[in-house]
């Protein structure tokens, strides 16, 4: 438990200081986040935020990594292969997000060079990284809910790699879609990482029930990300002094998705990340209705759905706080289901 607390505390402190440093640096550069205008059907009501520093996700990822490493300096905690591959995935996808952010800022247009191809590029890379995880770490190759044997559906290796890659890739995109209001993505991610910290630490304390390789290291990694998101949220809360950008959204999404794979909670991930599913689903539904109507009708005033509520008259802070509440309810439900299954196993 001490290692978990160290990771969270160090991650938060480094993120607090690091994010402040990034704000000063990007302000001196004089360039920030571009916002799509009316010609691109963008959120024109958000134009006042144009020029706000972005790429704050750099601080989140580096702070979380620092917290994770710091927890190992105390001794007694081994570096695990699974955690190492999670970090590889986080850094690779965050690097792609950084490149996209850089091009957006440089061109002063909210679409990087990869905006049409980025999905295919990130999915291909994710498949390779999940193949590496599955082939080298002994992760349970079953579709699971609360543990490897629940429900424990076995699928052939290549299909398992595709399934888990789709999970991780979808999570990165869902977090990216959610990152549209000040603090919304960081706050909901904080809840998610706290859930995985509890799940992984619980598995560490009950190894006879949960088939997880080195769950304590996963708990430490998750706690480090939770702390880093908390530190970043200090500066990202409305009115935001900095945005996380794609570098943060893709990095955070990769970490959440990979934690679900390594803790055998595949089917619980949509509950833990319920608000992200809600946001990404609103985009899919909006596009479906628009195309089905011959490009004449839209279900929402604007997607993702947080913009719909803004245009319906909700103040931005109201949308954010209510969505945080929904996220908290989703996470609490997931943890309750996890503990309920544990209780049932103990009684047997």
The alpha carbons of the chain give a radius of gyration, in whole angstroms, of 20
Looking at residue 63, what is its pLDDT? 97
Sequential DSSP letters for 225-290: HHHHHHHHHHHHSSSPS---HHHHHHHHHHHHHHHHHHTT-GGGHHHHTHHHHHHHHHHHHHHHHH
Q: Has this prediction a pTM greater than 0.85?
A: yes
pLDDT tens track, the chain, 348 positions:
899 999 999 999 999 999 999 999 988 887 766 655 444 444 555 555 666 888 899 999 999 999 999 999 987 888 899 999 999 999 999 999 998 888 888 776 666 555 567 788 899 999 999 999 999 988 988 999 998 888 888 888 899 999 999 999 999 999 999 988 989 999 999 999 999 999 999 999 998 888 888 899 999 999 999 999 999 999 999 898 999 999 999 999 999 999 999 999 999 999 999 999 999 999 999 888 888 887 778 888 887 988 888 888 899 999 999 999 999 999 999 999 999 998 888 776
């Amino acid at each position: 438990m001490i290692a978990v607390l160290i990771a969270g505390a160090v991650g938060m402190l480094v993120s607090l200081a690091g994010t402040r440093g990034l704000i000063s640096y990007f302000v001196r550069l004089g360039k920030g986040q571009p916002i799509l205008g009316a010609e691109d059907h963008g959120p024109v009501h958000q134009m006042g935020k144009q020029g706000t520093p972005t790429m704050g996700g750099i601080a989140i990822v580096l702070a979380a990594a620092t917290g994770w490493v710091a927890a190992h300096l105390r001794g007694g905690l081994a570096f695990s292969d699974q955690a190492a591959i999670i970090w590889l995935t986080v850094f690779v996808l965050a690097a792609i997000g950084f490149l996209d952010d850089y091009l957006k800022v440089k061109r002063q247009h909210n679409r990087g060079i990869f905006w049409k191809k980025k999905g295919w590029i990130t999915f291909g890379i994710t498949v390779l990284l999940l193949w590496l995880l599955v082939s080298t770490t002994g992760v349970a190759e079953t579709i699971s809910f609360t543990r490897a044997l629940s429900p424990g559906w076995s699928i052939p290796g290549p299909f398992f790699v595709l399934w888990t890659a789709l999970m991780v890739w979808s999570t990165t995109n869902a977090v990216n879609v959610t990152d549209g209001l000040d603090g919304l993505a960081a706050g909901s991610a904080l809840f998610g990482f706290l859930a995985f910290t509890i799940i992984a630490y619980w598995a560490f304390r009950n190894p006879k029930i949960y088939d997880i390789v080195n769950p304590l290291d996963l708990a430490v990694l998750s706690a480090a990300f939770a702390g880093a998101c908390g530190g970043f949220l200090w500066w990202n809360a409305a009115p935001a002094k900095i945005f996380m950008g794609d570098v943060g959204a893709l990095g955070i999404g990769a970490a959440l998705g990979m934690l679900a794979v390594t803790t055998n909670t595949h089917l619980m991930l949509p509950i833990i990340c319920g608000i992200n599913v809600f946001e990404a689903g609103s985009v899919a539904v909006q596009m479906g209705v628009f195309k089905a109507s011959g490009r004449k009708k839209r279900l929402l005033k604007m997607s993702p759905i947080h913009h719909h509520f803004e245009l319906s008259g909700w103040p931005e802070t109201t949308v954010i706080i209510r969505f945080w509440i929904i996220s908290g309810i989703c996470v609490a439900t997931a943890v309750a289901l996890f503990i309920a299954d544990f209780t049932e196993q103990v009684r047997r």
